[in-house]
Structure 1
């Protein structure tokens, strides 16, 4: 069409319309803090040769820092600030999404890229609570880092594959949950830890712009995607309206 070699756009005659896609997060997938802690504890008991224990801190980053799995996999030693007391910080500037080797320049399944929806040189500082600081300090002390500074490695020193942590996650769910919970959508994917983390922050009353900045979202996307996860927000809004009307 740009070269004007066609007299008309043939796609205009196609009657098919793409199906609607649900953009909001199902609130049933989000675990509460007690369930998240139980899952992380059970992860350490999964697999032979300490396979689950090696990955526990990876899952903790998804929950306590609300990182995407690809962002957690890409964390390096120079990206962390882990003080002995108080809150720490992760500086996220690399993502390692898993894709087919045919679509990467290097031929690797996890090619290093910039952050999602951001420029290649953008960074995202993420404050992390003392609980995660402690977990990461213990992980580094026990497992060290890779030659390139990566915090998380496979048993052979390679990049952690999604199949590896997915298998560990499903086993941990069976150990931590009741049969009814295992059959439910609750934390069905490791990614749901991130959903739980963002939902927790919003329900705790953290301002949306701050939550969005930490999670790497725009405020618009954050509120649209997590709208259904704001437990009790209508009651809070009603009370504020009542207070304003009776003031």
Structure 2
């Protein structure tokens, strides 16, 4: 993020895919990838609105970031497993009864 107030900018450098140990060459659960159709060291600037800047700054102030710059990590400092998202992000606390009943929130 580049701004204390107002719009901010995230510089994304890649993504993480959860493939499973049986599908990776090295037996790791996660595979780190560079951005699609870009050089391995390229970044992609993404503007973020002021509300998200405030939320993200508060989260970073409270929890810090991982050594590689990730804002979200599990208790051991590793990548968050998608299977943990359902319990980590308690949908029943943030969605309306109608949204929960619709079935669209069954899987994050």
CA RMSD in angstroms, aligned pairs only: 2.0
Deviation at 1:147, TM superposition (A): 2.6
Deviation at 1:120, TM superposition (A): 4.6
Pair 1:189-2:107 in alignment: yes
CA distance in 2, matches of 1:148, 1:186: 33
Q: 2:38 maps to which residue?
A: 119
1:194-213 alignment to 2 at 5 Å?
Answer: none
Q: 1:20 maps to which residue?
A: none
Please state which structure has a larger fraction of its residues in helix: 1
Q: Which has the larger radius of gyration?
A: 1
Deviation at 1:184, TM superposition (A): 1.0
Question: Taking structure 2 as the reference length, what is the TM-score of the superposition?
Answer: 0.80
Q: Can you give the 5+ residue segments of structure 2 that lack an aligned partner in the other structure?
A: none
Pair 1:90-2:25 in alignment: no
2:75 to 155, 168, 174: 155
CA distance in 1, matches of 2:22, 2:38: 23
With over 3 angstroms needed to count, the CA separation of the structure-2 counterparts of 1:138 and 1:106, relative to structure 1, is farther
Structure 1 counterpart SS, 2:5? coil
2:53 to 124, 127, 133: 133
Q: 1:99 maps to which residue?
A: 19
Question: Taking structure 1 as the reference length, what is the TM-score of the superposition?
Answer: 0.39
Judge conservation of contact 1:94–1:112 (CA < 8 Å) in 2.
yes
The runs of at least 4 consecutive aligned structure 1 residues that moved more than 4 Å come to none
With over 3 angstroms needed to count, the CA separation of the structure-2 counterparts of 1:153 and 1:131, relative to structure 1, is same
Deviation per residue, 1:7-26 (Å, 9 max, x gap): xxxxxxxxxxxxxxxxxxxx
Deviation per residue, 1:8-65 (Å, 9 max, x gap): xxxxxxxxxxxxxxxxxxxxxxxxxxxxxxxxxxxxxxxxxxxxxxxxxxxxxxxxxx
Judge conservation of contact 2:66–2:77 (CA < 8 Å) in 1.
yes
Please state which structure has a larger fraction of its residues in strand: 2
Q: Can you give the 5+ residue segments of structure 1 that lack an aligned partner in the other structure?
A: 1-80, 191-247
CA distance in 2, matches of 1:125, 1:187: 29
CA distance in 1, matches of 2:18, 2:82: 7
